[in-house]
Amino acid sequence: MQKLKHIVDDTIKALEEMKRSGVTHVEVSQATLEELGRKPVVVAAVPAAPTRRTPVAGTAAATPDWAALEAETKKCRKCAELARTRRNVVFGVGNPQAELMFIGEAPGADEDAQGEPFVGRAGQLLTKIIEAMGMKREEVYIANVLKCRPPENRTPLPDETANCLPYLQRQIEMIRPKVIVALGATALRALLDIQIGITKMRGNWYAYHDIPIMPTFHPAYLLRNPPAKKEVWQDMKTVLAKLGREVPKQS
């Protein structure tokens, strides 16, 4: 009984923290409800994402705003250590009108060298995941919380995240994706300002300014733990359903 009380208290604490950080909706899967031994209940749905836009004059790719943001980002020297050690500022890559946006933690050595996010081994795996979803890398938009590589690929420091996050937030505002996939705990915590592990949060829907967010494991984690690929693929199938797309048949 005491153990159950601790579980309930921890759950309440986590939900209160999420509420303070601005999370307004949490979707619970049927499988989760069955595991809890409860009958299905109606939960508040994440507000419907805006319908897909046809690229027209005035969107991110057609105005100077996008280029100006990229130029501003590449001149940034707010983080003295990162500005001193970086080779390139890694702004992002893909379609500025994408309906699906992937957000990771920070550039690694390969990304720093090439100036493009997710081009190393983890990036190659992400590309395979995108292709398995029936999409091309060029169709989605890929970015990181940090635009500069932390030395030795260390975890971003709080002040580094605070300095760089506004650039990402402006990218999201311009792109207005229908769905965001948060790759790993760092991306999720930056967007929702919560300190809950990715293992507990993956597979469920959350919201960033009414844009649905699906947290899942980072591709780098999958390289170290291949069995987790099954869970990520389940998350991506849920994302496809949210986008109104069918899961491609595996050849």
Q: Residue 65: how many CB atoms within 10 A of its CB?
A: 16
| pLDDT at residue 194, as a whole number | 85
Alpha-carbon distance of 165 to 147, in angstroms, equals: 9
Computed over its alpha carbons, how large is the radius of gyration of the chain?
A: 18
Whether 121 is covered by a domain: the verdict is: yes
pLDDT at 162 over 50: yes
157: domain CATH number? 3.40.470.10
DSSP state of 178: S
Query: Starting at the edge strand that comes first in sequence, how are the strands of the sheet with 93-94 ordered?
Result: 93-94, 141-144, 100-104, 179-183, 211-216, 206-208
- Asked, for residue 92, whether it belongs to a domain, the answer is yes
With respect to residue 5, please indicate whether it lies within any of the assigned structural domains.
no
Average pLDDT across the chain, whole number: 84
pLDDT at 5: 52
**Inter-residue contact 111 to 90 (CB < 8 Å):** yes
Listed range (44-58, 136-150, 190-204, 212-226) with the worst mean pLDDT: 44-58
Q: Which structural domain, as residue segments, surrounds residue 204? A: 57-243
Rounded mean pLDDT, 179-205: 94
pLDDT at 41: 37
Q: Which two tokens stand for residue 113?
A: 């060298």
Q: How many structural domains is the chain composed of?
A: 1
Question: Does 42 reside within a domain?
Answer: no
* Position 51 pLDDT exceeds 80: no
44 domain residue, yes or no: no
Task: Spell out the alpha helix ranges (H) of 26-133.
Answer: 30-35, 64-74, 80-85, 109-114, 121-132
Q: How far is the CA of 178 from the CAs of 11, 46, 148, 154, 218, in angstroms? A: 29, 11, 26, 31, 20
Residue, of 20 and 142, whose pLDDT is higher: 142
Predicted pLDDT at 82: 97
The model scores a pTM over 0.85 = no
Q: Beta strand 206-208 with 179-183: parallel, antiparallel or unpaired?
A: unpaired
Residue 49 has pLDDT above 60, yes or no: no
Of the candidates 80, 107, 58, 99, the one whose C-alpha atom is nearest the C-alpha of residue 245 is 99
Residue 230 maps to a domain? yes
